[in-house]
Amino acid sequence: MAKLYFNYSSMNAGKSTVLLQAAYNYEERGMTTRLLTAAIDDRAGQGVIASRIGLNARADIFSSQTDLFAHVKALKKDAALDAVFVDEAQFLTEPQVWQLAQVADDLKIPVMCFGLRTDFQGKLFPGSAALLALADTLREIKTICWCGKKATMVARLDANGSILEEGDQVVIGGEDTYVSLCRKHWFARQLQ
Q: How many CB atoms lie within 10 A of CB 186?
A: 24
The 10 Å CB-count burial string (b at 16+, else e) for 67-101 is: ebbebbbebbeeeebbbbbbbbbbbbbeebbebbb
CA distance 166 to 79: 46
Q: Where in the sequence numbering do the catalytic residues fall?
A: 88
Instruction: Give how far Cα 73 sits from Cα of 107, 116, 127, 136, Å.
Output: 7, 26, 21, 20
Q: Which of 1, 18, 33 is nearest to 115 (CA)?
A: 18
Is the Cβ–Cβ distance between 23 and 57 less than 8 Å?
Answer: yes
Give 167's DSSP letter. S
Is the Cβ–Cβ distance between 187 and 166 less than 8 Å?
Answer: no
Three-state DSSP at 127 gives helix
